[in-house]
A = this chain, B = another copy of it.
């Protein structure tokens, strides 16, 4: 499927194209019919560099996907997070199909809305209510509103580089966003307890909430976990300002701890945002909150037609049931560790110096001395050509269907990919 391409060679940064003729035909249509540019930017295969990874995926099963030209890959992207148990998990899909045989959307509340809320509240310590919704972005924005409504203060503390979805208040890139939209957000450097203390003190009468990701994890950067001192300072700021902690667990949720990433960090949020993995690929998110914040939530007007799509709600209930029953977190964790150990060893054996950061369930691989990601892209390209999808500048995700055989096969592919790249000059 992968073929030497004059076009790619001319572009200078690579000599292969991952896309076959069917994908190229889709790209021609996509380039005409979608705006491109920043729209869908990080989701486009081109975010990895043009021609590095297959642009269009036709199908998936377990931990494998097949592109529109019929090439199969072991997948470590998991649809950017949603695939938690494996593509087309039979029990989740069966729950979705059974619900489709009843109804997808109907008027008023579907029973599945209550059942998902119950599931979420029962398995999440300290949370009293839940608001299922659609996008992750929906529930971070809603969580911020609840915090502001509760405190009657507008200013939020967010951390530098932290992605919290596409709300104009904090979406990266300011095109089309009135400048004043950012006036109520204070960005503090990650793990900088002193700055946090200073900013919180200066604005102590204004702060209405703190929005926290469990990790500092961004494209083409090492993942940095929060320090104990930083987390303690966040707790102090909450106490001193009475500001709710809005915990954005959309990306990391279900992959850092079975009971929520906040448990891994040892913090107790006031509001928790879930999305991505919650429905194993079906579109569902949720905001969870404490009893203390119920009145603030009630004061807010929020509804969305598709929050009541019972197919997605049922899929989420089934996902949680299977995840808990099968101890899926432990399985994903073990597979992630096996992958990490294999890749670190393969890199060492081929003379490559890499940094492998983040939880093993959602790692980032970066090459040392690779400021333009040339090595990283080459690695992804060589691995894709051999049948494994590793993103060169986004973190990866593992799912519960990555078994030992798949991990070992992927490690072999990665070893060949490392071997195909010239080692650094001084090695």
Within 8 A of B (CB), among A135-193: 135-138, 141, 144-149, 154, 165-166, 168-169, 171-173, 175-181, 183-184
Most buried by B among A37, A55, A275: A37
Decide if B145 touches A302 in the complex (CB within 8 Å): no
A229 and B30 CA atoms in complex are apart in Å by 39
Query: Does A405 sit within 8 A of B, measured CB to CB?
Result: no
Query: Does A221 sit within 8 A of B, measured CB to CB?
Result: no
Query: Does A265 sit within 8 A of B, measured CB to CB?
Result: no
- Copies of this chain assembled into the complex: 2
A41 and B300 CA atoms in complex are apart in Å by 9
Chain B nearest CB, measured from A52 CB (Å):
11
A183 and B88 CA atoms in complex are apart in Å by 46
Query: Does A6 sit within 8 A of B, measured CB to CB?
Result: no
Ranked 8 nearest A-B pairs via Cβ: A37-B298, A145-B176, A283-B306, A149-B176, A173-B301, A35-B297, A77-B107, A105-B281
Chain B contacts for A82, CB-based, 8 A = 105, 305-306
Contacting residue for A100 out of B93, B141, B300, CB 8 A: B93
Most buried by B among A173, A289, A297, A306: A306
Decide if B93 touches A26 in the complex (CB within 8 Å): no
Given contacts A103-B65, A103-B87, A283-B134, contact A299 B57 (CB under 8 A): no
Given contacts A39-B300, A135-B138, A135-B304, contact A87 B106 (CB under 8 A): yes
Decide if B118 touches A29 in the complex (CB within 8 Å): yes
Decide if B109 touches A55 in the complex (CB within 8 Å): yes
What is the interface of chain A, defined by CB distance below 8 A to chain B?
26, 29-30, 32-45, 53-61, 65, 68, 75, 77-83, 87-88, 93, 96-97, 100-111, 113-114, 117-118, 121, 129-131, 134-138, 141, 144-149, 154, 165-166, 168-169, 171-173, 175-181, 183-184, 275-276, 281-283, 289, 294-309, 311-312, 389
Chain B nearest CB, measured from A195 CB (Å):
23
Chain B contacts for A146, CB-based, 8 A = 176
Chain B nearest CB, measured from A47 CB (Å):
9
Decide if A173 touches B60 in the complex (CB within 8 Å): no
Decide if B45 touches A111 in the complex (CB within 8 Å): no
Chain B nearest CB, measured from A321 CB (Å):
17
Given contacts A106-B79, A135-B138, contact A303 B148 (CB under 8 A): no
Decide if A117 touches B57 in the complex (CB within 8 Å): no
Contacting residue for A136 out of B39, B175, B305, CB 8 A: B305
Given contacts A30-B109, A177-B148, A281-B309, contact A166 B303 (CB under 8 A): yes
Given contacts A96-B100, A109-B30, A180-B183, contact A302 B171 (CB under 8 A): yes
A58 and B110 CA atoms in complex are apart in Å by 6
Decide if B296 touches A276 in the complex (CB within 8 Å): no
Decide if A56 touches B281 in the complex (CB within 8 Å): no
A224 and B192 CA atoms in complex are apart in Å by 56
Chain B nearest CB, measured from A229 CB (Å):
31
Contacting residue for A303 out of B43, B54, B154, CB 8 A: B43
